[in-house]
Structure 1
Amino acid sequence: MLGLSMQSAVSAEPVVAIAPPTLDEPVGTSHSEVAVFAGGCFWGVQGVFQHVIGVENAVSGYAGGEANTAEYEQVGSGDTGHAESVQVTYDPTKVTYGRLLQVFFSVAHNPTELNRQGPDSGTQYRSAIFAQNPEQDKIAQAYIAQLDGSKVFSAPIVTKIEDHKSFFPAEGYHQNYLTLHPTSPYIAMNDLPKVQSLKELVPTLYRADPVLVGKL
């Protein structure tokens, strides 16, 4: 993001209605799984997933780099390998990994922008999926191929599926940022429209009351 108090002059990224993946995880007995997504500033990505039915927690943080550089100012340099990311803990009996991917690609960010989202640029804002296991990797790869094949986006998807590395929660002031600062110009212009798009495009997955991060 452009700094905690700087107003963005660029409106929210356009959203695209897309079909759910044809390949998804089978219904099982587990009630808790984890997914990690990177799609630009984590404020908006977290805010969207906090409104998804079946999501039990969505934590802003850093993935792709090492523990000693998982700090906001260092990550902002673009030299740490980290991407601003969100760790989503979800109940797969209520929402599948594939449906989370549908939200990620259609609402949470623009998967055709390379190393940027809206007003923010740099590798720390790249579009990436940190697959937690081979099944997630397979589903994500198949979905990207499905979406590219359907040409539902005006440009190819640039999202990379990266090797799973540790996730590091961000500083406390980054958590629940969308909910706590709805009148911030950056949030109002870039992120609140994404939550509204979730409600309109995927209403069966929308929950009005966000699930918020407690004390980390």
Structure 2
Amino acid sequence: MLTIYAIPHSLYCAKLRIALRHKQLDWKEEPPPSGVGSDKYRSIIPSGNLPTLKDGEFVLGDSEAIIEYLEEAYPDNPLMPENPRQRARYREMSRFHDTRLEPALRQFFPLVDPATRDHDIIGAAIIAMNARLEQLGTMLSGFDNGQLRLFDCGYPITFIWLRVITDRLGTAVQWPENVVAYDNWLSSTPSVAEEIAHYMPHVEAWLATKLGTTQ
């Protein structure tokens, strides 16, 4: 059985779990030994990355690298096509999430806590996110939705956080119509729907902590 080291509210751990669910692989999940950043955990994975995969004696960090490894080691229920140009396009879409869209989302997290909320920073974060969503909408125009793909694994949890946080902040971003349709399709796919059901309690718990509403 595969083992993954993960923490509950990590977007990238959720990204990996979506891939594992789609590929119908068996895994167990454990917290990083002695905690994230600990010497013990870094003795397992020097980068300290989350998630980390253990497949027997083989250890690998970074969600994207792990999913690509799973594609090759466990080829059933593929997330990548055989055509090299299509594979490159899937990687491009996945990198856009990891290096463009998710970092734009990350700017919102410190703003949830009323003590660190700054309306000028919120405005700048909205402008930056609108630009990324517009770019994503243009990029998605070249794809039809069917079976789950490599790049689909990262977007659904990012979309959830974006909707939840902007709602808590009393603001909104500009969602292109095809991005909304894409989000709706993603959340209807079985592996994504299952991960969302697993993940949402952790979203609410994190928000409650930041908003000072824990019991």
Please indicate the TM-score interval, normalised by the length of the shorter structure: under 0.3
Question: When the two structures are superposed, what TM-score results if normalisation uses the length of structure 2?
Answer: 0.26
Structure ranking higher on relative contact order (CA contacts 8 Å, 6+ apart): 1
The structure with more helix, counted as a fraction of residues:
2
**Rg larger in structure:** 2
The structure with more strand, counted as a fraction of residues:
1
Question: When the two structures are superposed, what TM-score results if normalisation uses the length of structure 1?
Answer: 0.26
